[in-house]
Structure 1
Amino acid sequence: MDASRTRALRRGAFVPALVCSALLIAACTAPESPGKEDGSTTRAGLLTDAADLQNQYLKVIKEVLPSVVQIEASRDLGSGVVFDDQGHIVTNAHVVGSEKTFKVTTAHNEQPLTARLVYSYPEQDLAVIKLDKVPAGLKPATFGDSEKVQVGHIVMAMGSPLGLSSSVTQGIVSATGRTVSEGRSGGGTGATIANMVQTSADINPGNSGGALVNLEGQVVGIPTLAATDPELGGSAAPGIGFAIPASMVKTVADQIVKSGKVVDSGRAALGLTARTVVDESYQPAGAAVVTVKSGDAADKAGLRPGDVITKVGDTPVTTTTELSEALAADKPGQKTTVTYERDGAAKTAEVTLGEQ
């Protein structure tokens, strides 16, 4: 799992902080000191607002947590989200790894149920498994519209961090539209994923594959990884986690459920393999083409093994990760330019991108 990219749980104190913040604002903006009666009214209103917010938290947790399950492989532990009433569960590809069978613990079953892999799609770090027997009362989650997710929205991460099933952490949406590359160390797939939701809600080992939920009770993302800080020895950077957006989760999971595989990835590709090369100062200098797939985008554009790609469109490329990130921002069928070096000379080719 992603132990190197995650941290232990922190207990938040959101509601008291909200109350204190509101009191400070009221004190700063009042034109004059309120009378005793007015002050009591203000405090009563703030306490009511805080109680309403707390009740909304409780309502969402009660509604959504039964749709979040714990997934146990032979060596790893992760989370999943009930996708439909047929027993399909969506999770991360790095949670299932290379295994085919799993034990699943649902909210209403103390004894684990058995499940089998339907399909794993490491390129987007998503997978679908299916329960062998669907228990009574299995509740599918409601997935939201990723386009409506905004910075500042309150969200909760639900899952089984560190094996603590049915755990909840809270935070906000810190950013949207992030392109993030996973490492392969610690069980990652090495995928480059576009349009991820960044959140301050803690993403811990075992949260992977769970649910990032808004206050309307909708799953807006699948928590996948936390940022790592090189200055902290590669340990997780506090309060910076990432979730695959719900719209992409639905697109991929729908295809797997209906076709048993992903038939339309929506991910642009050049149709080649590459490796990072360095310059005389041992600094990354480009992505050297290793193989080119016959008839695919790179082949049609005239690229060949030995060429060193240095730019895609206007985006500089010094590593294979940057090459993947540049392509993640594009779509299949889109035209772009690829700048590369061949025999010491810079060249540019127009490419119509293929599909991964």
Structure 2
Amino acid sequence: MTLSNSSNDFTPADVVVGSTSDTLADNFVNVPDGTPRFASESYDDIGWTIGANYRINENFTTYLSIADSFRLPGFEDYIFGGPATNPTTGEVARGDQVENIKQVEGGLRYADSVNSVSLTAFYIDFAAKENLGPTLDDLSATGNGIACTAIPAPANCPKVRDVFRRSLDNIGIELEASYSPEALEGLTLQGSIVWQDPQLSQDNEIRNGIVEVDTNGDGVFDERQYDVSTTEGRRPRRQSELLVNFRPSYDFESIPLSIYSQFMYYSERFATDDSTNVTVYPAYYQMNLGGIYEFSEQMDLQIHIANLNDADSFTEGSPILSGLSFSNGDYTGVARPLLGRTIKASLTYRF
């Protein structure tokens, strides 16, 4: 069962719109209309994988893997991007909900008693499910772009809604290595470097909104036009091009104690992959530190310090839009910050 897609503004009457007391939490509240809408659907697809591994000699191995797989829709697809009702006809609209994934991966590995090195190249072709754009006034039928909220409203006030499908192509290289020196038994140095170039494509542009336009430069908005958008050639949101992960650790011989540290680097990312108002999240590095002490085979104590250097950045969020501004002109956005320095201790007992 799906509920109504309509939303309501429940901003309290004593709150000034755009003030610091005005929050997004009460601006868009979905309220079910009480009418049940039932759905019964089935999906199927076929996936396959083929791979080969060849040992060149005692230390070198090469491999190649090719896969064609899929992802069937889940419950979250119905909540965040599932069916929608055409406000003009009442017809339930839904695109292709099966996502297709093609992957190619191959590389070369070297290993001996001290070293381990792996160089991998990969390619991913991901076709997401079809999505529906926002429901907009049909400007070609409302008479010179008159708004449906005008009085008197255009007859029947027809609507339009675009269907589109996004795809992702990603090519990259990963270098992973591990070193355990014989001169210092217990020490292990391992890490990885990943470079990738993910890019989005879109099968067609969509009408993403309606903007007021001053056609003759007299300072008066005299026409409404579609804001057309596409993500063609853009990098996906929250995806870095360069990632570094270095993880040294040391196991003591005389006592049952292991200590470790971690250095992670993420190059800059975009908050969103929309075609306008792109917000850049800065590159950052983060250091972690910890240790594990084994009291016995059944019980151990771990202390972990995350973000030891107290790095500042964001992990995800929205772009800064003109509509997200206070009355004093300051902009506000919604983002999830990287947590500051945290210390966690855990005691594990295995029965």
Place the TM-score, normalised by the shorter chain, in its bin: under 0.3
Q: Higher relative CO (CA 8 A, sep ≥ 6), structure 1 or 2?
A: 1
Structure with higher helix content: 1
Q: Give the TM-score normalised by the residue count of structure 2.
A: 0.21
Q: Give the TM-score normalised by the residue count of structure 1.
A: 0.20
Q: Which has the larger radius of gyration?
A: 2
